C-alpha cells in the first residue's frame, strides 16, 4: 500500500482499523522523513508491549515496515546574480531540481544555468505565479532589491507556499520586512517556523560563494532534521 502526504492511499493492506492505523503511522513517518517498523495487535487483550492495541478480534500480531520515498527536492531560486549563481550550482551538485526566476535575461540564461529545470524571466511576482508549488519545494530569495524581495516573499506566503523560505538580507531589513508584512495584514503564524531571514547559518560568510554554502547547509539541515552545529542567523529561529 502506498500513502501520500495528503493521506490518499493506493492499494490496501487489510482494511478496517488495521489500515487506518497504518495510514496514520505512514503520515507520521512522512512528517519525520524516517522509515519505521510498526507492530499491530489484532486483538484487544494480551498485547505485546511494542505493539499497538486494537479492538479487532482476528488474533495475532502484524508487523509492517513503512518506507519513506521522498520526491527529488526543488529549489526555486529568486535572483540569478552574485549569490544566486553559486547557490544554484551547489543545489544542482546536491541533486536538487532548480528553477531560476529573475528580471535580467543576461543573468537568468541557459548558458549560466544549463542544469535548470526552467528559467523564468520577467516581473518576479508574475513569473512566480506561473509555478505550481509542491510539498518538495524550497525557495531562496537572493535578488537583492528591497521591494522585489519583499514582493516575492509576500507572494509566496499569501499563495500558500508550503516549503521553507530563505531570504538573503540583514537583520535590520528582516525585522522591517516582518513588521511590514504584519502591518499589511499577512498572517505569519503558519509560516514563521519555515521562514529563514537572514538566510543561512552563521559561519562568518563573506563572499557570495561562502554565503551560498551557509544557505545550502541550512537547507540540508532542515531536510535532514539535524541539530544545527552553529547558530542560525534567522530572527525567526529564536
Q: Give me the pLDDT at residue 233, please.
A: 73
Give the pairing of strands 36-41 and 61-66: antiparallel
Question: 29 is in which domain, residue-wise?
Answer: 2-66
Q: Residues 25, 91: one domain? A: no
**Nearest one of 14, 3, 1 to 61, comparing CA atoms:** 14
Which CATH number covers residue 147? 3.40.50.720
**pLDDT tens, 48-59?**
888 888 888 888
With cell 518576479, the residue in question is 124
Q: Give me the pLDDT at residue 237, please.
A: 66
| Cα–Cα distance, 109 to 164 (Å, whole number) | 25
**Nearest one of 227, 222, 238, 228 to 75, comparing CA atoms:** 222
Band of residue 31 on the pLDDT scale cut at 50, 70, 90? confident
Q: Residues 216, 121: one domain? A: yes
Q: Give me the pLDDT at residue 230, please.
A: 67
Looking at 21, 47, 66, which one is the last position of a domain? 66
Q: Residues 215, 109: one domain? A: yes
Q: Residues 167, 144: one domain? A: yes
Q: Residues 128, 196: one domain? A: yes
Does the predicted model carry a pTM greater than 0.85? no
Q: Residues 55, 85: one domain? A: no
Q: Residues 86, 45: one domain? A: no
**pLDDT tens, 53-100?**
888 888 888 899 999 988 899 999 999 999 999 999 999 999 999 999
Instruction: Return the C-alpha cell found at 83.
Output: 549569490
Q: Residues 156, 178: one domain? A: yes
Looking at 66, 83, 101, which one is the last position of a domain? 66
Q: Give me the pLDDT at residue 228, please.
A: 67
Q: Residues 177, 208: one domain? A: yes
The average pLDDT across 6-11 equals 88
Q: Give me the pLDDT at residue 13, please.
A: 84
Residue positions counted in the chain: 238
Q: Are 150 and 179 in contact (CB under 8 A)?
A: no
How many of the other CB atoms lie within 10 Å of CB of 87?
A: 30
User: Considering its fold, how many domains does the chain have in total?
Assistant: 2
- For residue 135, pLDDT over 70 is answered with yes
Band of residue 38 on the pLDDT scale cut at 50, 70, 90? very high
| Cα–Cα distance, 2 to 13 (Å, whole number) | 10
Looking at 47, 66, 85, which one is the last position of a domain? 66
Q: Residues 123, 92: one domain? A: yes
Give the whole-number percent of the chain exceeding pLDDT 70.
Answer: 98
Q: Residues 125, 34: one domain? A: no
Q: Residues 100, 36: one domain? A: no
Q: Are 60 and 43 in contact (CB under 8 A)?
A: yes
**pLDDT tens, 166-218?**
999 999 999 999 999 999 999 888 898 899 999 999 889 999 999 999 999 99
Amino acid at each position: 500500500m502506498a500513502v501520500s502526504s495528503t493521506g490518499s492511499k493506493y492499494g490496501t493492506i487489510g482494511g478496517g482499523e488495521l489500515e487506518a492505523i497504518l495510514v496514520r503511522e505512514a503520515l507520521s513517518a512522512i512528517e519525520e522523513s524516517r522509515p519505521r517498523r510498526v507492530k499491530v495487535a489484532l486483538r484487544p487483550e494480551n498485547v505485546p508491549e511494542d505493539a499497538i492495541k486494537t479492538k479487532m478480534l482476528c488474533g495475532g500480531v502484524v508487523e509492517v515496515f513503512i518506507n519513506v520515498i521522498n520526491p527529488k527536492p526543488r529549489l526555486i531560486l529568486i535572483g540569478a546574480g552574485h549569490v544566486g549563481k553559486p547557490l544554484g550550482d551547489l543545489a544542482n551538485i546536491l541533486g536538487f531540481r532548480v528553477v531560476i526566476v529573475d528580471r535580467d535575461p543576461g543573468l537568468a540564461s541557459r548558458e549560466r544555468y544549463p542544469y535548470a529545470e526552467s528559467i523564468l524571466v520577467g516581473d518576479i511576482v508574475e513569473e512566480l505565479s506561473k509555478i505550481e508549488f509542491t510539498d518538495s519545494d524550497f525557495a531562496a530569495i537572493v535578488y537583492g532589491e528591497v521591494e522585489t524581495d519583499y514582493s516575492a516573499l509576500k507572494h509566496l506566503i499569501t499563495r500558500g507556499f508550503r516549503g521553507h523560505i530563505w531570504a538573503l538580507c540583514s537583520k535590520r531589513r528582516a525585522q522591517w520586512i516582518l513588521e511590514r508584512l504584519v502591518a499589511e495584514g499577512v498572517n505569519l503564524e503558519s509560516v514563521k517556523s519555515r521562514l529563514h531571514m537572514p538566510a543561512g547559518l552563521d559561519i562568518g560568510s563573506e563572499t557570495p560563494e561562502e554565503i551560498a554554502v551557509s544557505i545550502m547547509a541550512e537547507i540540508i539541515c532542515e531536510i535532514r532534521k539535524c541539530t544545527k552545529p552553529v547558530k542560525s542567523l534567522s530572527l525567526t529561529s529564536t
